């Protein structure tokens, strides 16, 4: 008989390690997606995944049963990924990355403007690439909020709880991120390529 999530959590709390595997199975894709989107690096994403599930395993007893397990895993994964990126930046890569991000953004804008003649380049694969690159070019704070809201479908309140900030901050970051994305993808937005 398949155990419910609540039962798996209770078993894991009581030291039953076999309860961990189904939980990993359920959440591994979500954690990978988040880690990859925030760190933008395959190897780092794997490290974040490892750390996230290890933390889930070690801290399961601190999990409050009245909270949603999914949100708890989200919180751990997002914080692990953000800490990972911050640590990476601290290792003297900050300047390089900022410059690289600015260059990347300028390059993206140029390419989108050039290739955005909808009559010539209407291929969806190209558009997919640009949209993905535009999201990746956002700053860490804005990118995190966009990922959690647009792609993971979390509410403002849930995001605020995960990022430990106010709902107003989440709304504001989301608004600015969308405005920036609109600027980056302006030719497609204007052409109505949807």
Helix or strand holding residue 190 (H, E): helix 186-191
Binding interface with another protein (CB under 8 A): 13-15, 17, 20-21, 24, 28-29, 32-33, 36-37, 45-46, 49-50, 53-54, 57, 61, 64-66, 124, 127-132, 135, 146, 150-151, 156, 171, 174-175, 178-179, 181-182, 185, 188-190, 192-194
The DSSP code for 155 is -
Judged by DSSP in three states, 85 sits in helix
Angle at 141 between CA 59 and CA 90, to 5 degrees: 75
**Smallest gap, in angstroms, from Cβ of residue 131 to another protein?**
4
The nearer residue to another protein, 119 or 153, going by C-beta atoms, is: 153
Q: Report d(CA 73, CA 27) in Å as an integer.
A: 8
Cβ atoms within 10 A of the Cβ of 5, count? Answer: 15
Instruction: Please report how close the Cβ of residue 57 comes to another protein at its closest, in angstroms.
Output: 6
Question: Among residues 47 and 70, whose Cβ is nearest to another protein?
Answer: 47
């Amino acid at each position: 008989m398949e155990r419910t999530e609540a039962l798996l959590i209770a078993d894991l709390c009581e030291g039953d390690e076999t309860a961990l595997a189904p939980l990993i199975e359920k959440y591994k894709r979500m954690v990978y997606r988040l880690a990859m989107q925030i760190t933008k690096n395959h190897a780092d994403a794997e490290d974040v995944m490892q750390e996230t599930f290890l933390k889930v395993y070690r801290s399961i007893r601190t999990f409050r049963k009245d909270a949603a397990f999914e949100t708890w895993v989200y919180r751990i994964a997002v914080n692990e990924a953000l800490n990972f990126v911050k640590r990476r930046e601290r290792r003297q890569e900050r300047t390089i990355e900022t410059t690289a991000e600015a260059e990347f953004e300028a390059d993206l804008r140029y390419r989108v403007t050039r290739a955005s003649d909808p009559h010539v380049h209407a291929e969806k694969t190209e558009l997919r690439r640009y949209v993905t690159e535009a999201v990746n070019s956002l700053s860490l704070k804005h990118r995190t909020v966009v990922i959690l809201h647009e792609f993971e479908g979390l509410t403002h309140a849930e995001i605020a709880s995960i990022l430990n900030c106010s709902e107003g901050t989440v709304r504001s970051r989301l608004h600015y991120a969308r405005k920036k994305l609109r600027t980056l993808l302006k030719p497609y937005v204007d052409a109505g390529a949807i």
